[in-house]
Structure 1
Amino acid sequence: MSGITYERIPDGRPIADRRTAARRATLHIASENPRPQKSLAIIDGRVLSREHLSWGLLANGLGLHIVNFGSVNDIEDFDASEFSAILVCVDDSRFMDNSIVLEIEELVLRFPNAPVIVQADICGFQQILTVLEHGARGYLPGNAGISVCMEAISMALAGGVFVAAENLTDIQRILGTRRYQSKRGAMFTPREEDVIQVLRLGKANKSIAYTLNLAPNTVKVHVRNILKKLRVTNRSEAIYKINAMYDEVA
């Protein structure tokens, strides 16, 4: 059954510790006119999995209503302001046919104020990067514990982006490389980039011209433009500065 709202109901007795709180946490189906409260939507086609996750989050004091859905289609009829965040649990096969990317784009457009978080067993940095590039605000490994899920939801609600620590270094490196390439692309023309690749080897203009099949005078113009853009006065300074730029993302 989809679109069922759950919330944690205290039983009125004092709670001594978290373990006791978890045992006493109960779930119920909300009335047709529930009182206004922020909600988390969990989309997962596996009934037992999403029920277990709902119980765990509520028992650990999430503080949000939880509304469970079996698919993205089930959430389409809800108002865009209904949810504070959306957690999508993905089967690995969904990455193979690229359907998850389309669904993330759909959710981001449909619920622009609700950050989308993805949880999946597959944690290759290319998959993570693809999901983030299409608007998701977090990526959780399939074996993430409840505390990690809570952290990801909290960070997304605060406007941040959550990536598990074991994947963070790779993601930062890739994003740094892409930012650098974008910045460099705005600075140099494609032909100047070709000249730079050979220039970094310490080659003279004639060697650059031979390697790139260009006229020596053309290479001379390109080198002069490169020096000007780098704000240096000679080739040695240019090579040093270019190598330093490459080292930034090494």
Structure 2
Amino acid sequence: MMISRAMGEERSGDGKVAAIPTIAEVHKPEPNHRPVLALLDPRPLTRESFSQLFRAATRDYVVLPLSGPEDLLDLRSDMAEDVKLVVLNIASRSISDKPVRDDIRVLRHNFRDCPIIILGDRTNGSQVTQAARQGINGYIPTTLTATVVKEALRLVRAGGIFLPAGALVDALTQLSTAPGELHANEDQGDHDNPAEGNAPSFTPRQQQVLAHLCRGDPNKVIAYELNMQESTVKVHIRQIMKKLKATNRTQAALYAMKLVGSSKA
């Protein structure tokens, strides 16, 4: 075949002419398809601060700071498809506040398969209850350290649910001591799912262990965090599983989350 370098053309034997790719075209980089973490925060200062934190914590994600769900909905369709994680900063507001509930509803409707994490200042049990009820994948208090935030993001990205242990203990305490609630015991009939029956009663130590189970912490971590022997942790877990009629620790955590999510506000 003949190549016309002056014209930048390639001529084949049948007379057809095709342009020779330029160096820029040959070495053109592939499009960036890294997943996107959308950070929604109406306040510029905190939005930029948390953006830097999340960039350091999730280097395999592109962090996209936006002011709210409306900006997220205005993204081009191809960019919106790359959004794989949404963090909504509600600051000092409660999850039960109507504007927050509306934002969560919009995100749930338009990003059904995308995990949603709430970033907030409040750490009480009612926040956890509301978060579980609305199907939130994680609640990160602003009181946590950067290291814990990184682990929380890792857990949610892996398909888990992150809720602060202290707030979970608070929620479980409220659930166990709620007036008029019947507590599960061995004299009651078996339930396929305790969340559909009466709430079992947990000791304060069991509540702490169960809170860590809900976070997916292994026995060694639970023992370290609660300053107890690993063998003692195992005993508490067996008792928790018995009360929840669960066959394994994962099932116990799921049942506990359903109990918290279905409890009265």
The TM-score with structure 2 as length reference comes to 0.51
Q: Distance in 2 between matches of 1:102 and 1:175?
A: 26
The alpha carbon displacement at 1:83 in A equals 0.9
Aligned counterpart, 2:39: 42
2:196 maps to amino acid: S
Aligned counterpart, 1:115: 115
- Residue 64 of structure 1 pairs with residue 61 of structure 2: yes
Aligned counterpart, 1:198: none
Q: Distance in 2 between matches of 1:245 and 1:154?
A: 30
The alpha carbon displacement at 1:41 in A equals 0.5
The alpha carbon displacement at 1:174 in A equals 6.2
- Residue 182 of structure 1 pairs with residue 209 of structure 2: no
The alpha carbon displacement at 1:58 in A equals 2.2
Task: Determine what percentage of the aligned residue pairs are the same residue.
Answer: 23
Q: 1:102 to 1:131 in 2, by over 3 A?
A: farther
Q: Distance in 2 between matches of 1:55 and 1:69?
A: 13
Q: 1:245 to 1:95 in 2, by over 3 A?
A: closer
Is the Cα–Cα contact under 8 Å of residues 156 and 162 in structure 1 kept in the other structure?
yes
The alpha carbon displacement at 1:67 in A equals 0.5
Q: Distance in 2 between matches of 1:96 and 1:171?
A: 15
1:154 maps to amino acid: R
Is the Cα–Cα contact under 8 Å of residues 155 and 162 in structure 1 kept in the other structure?
yes
After superposition, what is the alpha-carbon deviation per residue over 1:190-235, rounded to whole angstroms, capped at 9, x for unaligned? xxxxxxxxxxxxxxxxxxxxxxxxxxxxxxxxxxxxxxxxxxxxxx
Unaligned runs of 5+ in 1: 1-32, 186-243
Aligned counterpart, 1:135: 135
Q: Distance in 2 between matches of 1:44 and 1:104?
A: 13
Total equivalences in the alignment: 158
Q: 1:125 to 1:111 in 2, by over 3 A?
A: same
Q: Distance in 2 between matches of 1:95 and 1:181?
A: 22
Q: Distance in 2 between matches of 1:136 and 1:172?
A: 18
Q: Distance in 1 between matches of 2:54 and 2:172?
A: 29
Unaligned runs of 5+ in 2: 1-29, 183-192, 200-241, 245-255, 257-265
1:153 maps to amino acid: L
After superposition, what is the alpha-carbon deviation per residue over 1:47-67, rounded to whole angstroms, capped at 9, x for unaligned? 111211221232345321000
